[in-house]
Amino acid sequence: MAFDSIVRNATLPDGRKGQDVAIADGRIVAVEPRIEAEAAETIDARGYLLAPPFVDCHFHLDATLSLGLPRLNVSGTLLEGIALWSELKPLLTHEAVAERALRYCDLAVSQGLLAIRSHVDVCDDRLLAVEALLDVKKRVKPYLDLQLVAFPQDGYFRSPGAARNLERALDLGVDVVGGIPHFERTIADGAASVRALCEIAARRGLMVDLHCDESDDPMSRHVETLAYEAQRLGLGARATGSHLTSMHSMDNYYVSKLLPLIAESGMCAISNPLINLTLQGRHDAYPKRRGMTRVAEMRALGIPVALGQDCVMDPWYSLGGADMLDVAHMAVHGAPMTSREAIRWTFDAVTEIPARILGLEGYGIAVGAHADMVLLQAADPIEAVRLRATRLLVMRRGEIIARTPARTSELSLKGRPASLDPASYAPRAAR
């Protein structure tokens, strides 16, 4: 039997080595140690790690690459970022939003990031960013899955017209219901917004993903309401709480009650370490709190937790490069979680776990799945996180859509030339 292509001698994320992956009609049709068959194209993985593509479950594509427009965030706080975004919004054009988003998607592809859940602000009556990103979604579909969240950045109740605009955005084809309860005028309004937004999701049969308790306020309680509504309305894993940074500061006794409630509801959680570590604790003298939510404790209770990037070069974060291994790497430090098991888990938290949260069909390196994959210059997932490994090759539906040369250093030490592969545990043959 002849296949379209075979990737030979790959290591898989589950540790299997020397695997061949055969591809036909854009799907994986065999994963075995040595496939005895012909293929139109053969790719030698040289023992490196072949993984399913990275998935970013929390991003803001309407704001990305806008750094410095119309000015920079001086305080570095979430609130100045929101104010700055409000200054930029009236200046946005459909073309500029789409152009920046498309440029970012190119960068994402080069990094093996082929699925993004992006929030899109619906507080502009023109729904300009919504229409631009719906356009982008169509244009990138051949190479990147883009899921959009209707996000009332300035508050579902607090911003006039946001409630109507959110429904309009959903009618236009935006996929997920968003919200920001901690930005409403009062705690009561925040809780009411969680209820209203979950009811919209339930009524429409959609997922709901709320920016939730993104503050240092130890008394913020919106995730409790979200868990309650997820349970009451039977949303389960269709409900997600993003950020949850206040949990870092909450009373430990209260958290001991809260976490089992979250687990019982079946809802998911998303932590965004790059942003949470830099935006939070800005009002603290020393010691300064970090804003990461309680990732290890939620994992221990079986709550699905994923890691997102949130922002790249925008009013909230001036760095970033569509590199989900950077996100995993930062989570290891910020949590901190340094056991081999936990570092290994961060790789899943930027691949398989967010793929499940997004509900991606045919994801993974398995027979029947889409032939979407990334070849990393690393011997295993821990090494990929450690090195933020080079994406040697990115494949979508069986076609190679990006290649990056291996990172090697040519050394000359006292006349002794050597070629150094940073993936130091990679097989000799791969060097």
Q: Which stretch binds Fe ion (CB under 5 A): 33-41, 126-134, 140-148, 307-315?
A: 307-315
Query: Between residue 120 and residue 149, which ones bind Fe ion under the rule CB under 5 A?
Result: none
What is the C-alpha to C-alpha distance for residues 268 and 281, in angstroms, rounded to an integer? 24
Nearer to Fe ion, 56 or 310 (CB): 310
CB of 249 to Fe ion, least distance (A): 19
- Per-position x/- string for 259-298, each x denoting binding to Fe ion as judged by CB under 5 A, each - no binding: ----------------------------------------
Q: Which residue is nearest to Fe ion (CB)?
A: 310
Tokens 């997820």 — which residue? 230
CB of 119 to Fe ion, least distance (A): 6
Q: Kindly list the distances between the CA atom of residue 313 and the CA atoms of 75, 307, 391, in Å, as whole numbers in the listed order.
A: 16, 18, 22
Pick from 184, 216, 310, 314 the residue near Fe ion by CB under 5 A: 310
Q: Which stretch binds Fe ion (CB under 5 A): 103-111, 169-177, 303-311, 318-326?
A: 303-311
Query: Between residue 95 and residue 124, which ones bind Fe ion under the rule CB under 5 A?
Result: none
What is the C-alpha to C-alpha distance for residues 101 and 129, in angstroms, rounded to an integer? 10
362, 151 contact by CB (below 8 A): no
Q: Across the chain, how many H-helices and E-strands are there?
A: 13, 18
What is the C-alpha to C-alpha distance for residues 315 and 312, in angstroms, rounded to an integer? 9
Neighbouring residues of 244: CB distance < 8 A, sequence distance ≥ 6: 212, 213, 214, 223, 269, 271, 293
Nearer to Fe ion, 67 or 376 (CB): 67
CB of 316 to Fe ion, least distance (A): 8
What is the C-alpha to C-alpha distance for residues 126 and 227, in angstroms, rounded to an integer? 33
CB of 310 to Fe ion, least distance (A): 5
116, 146 contact by CB (below 8 A): yes
Q: Which stretch binds Fe ion (CB under 5 A): 281-289, 308-316, 395-403, 416-424?
A: 308-316
Q: How many residues bind Fe ion (CB under 5 A)?
A: 1
CB of 270 to Fe ion, least distance (A): 9
Catalytic residue among 184, 214, 224, 229: 214
H or E segment and range at residue 129: helix 128-140
CB of 182 to Fe ion, least distance (A): 12
Nearer to Fe ion, 145 or 310 (CB): 310
**Token digits for 193?**
């917004």
Is 184 labeled as catalytic in the residue annotation? Answer: no
> How is 31-95 classified by DSSP, letter by letter?
EESS---EEEEEEE-TT-EEEPPEEEEEE-TTTTT-TTSS---SS--HHHHHHHHHHHGGG--HH
Nearer to Fe ion, 20 or 310 (CB): 310
- Active site residue ranges: 214
Which residues would be at the binding site for Fe ion (CB under 5 A)?
Answer: 310
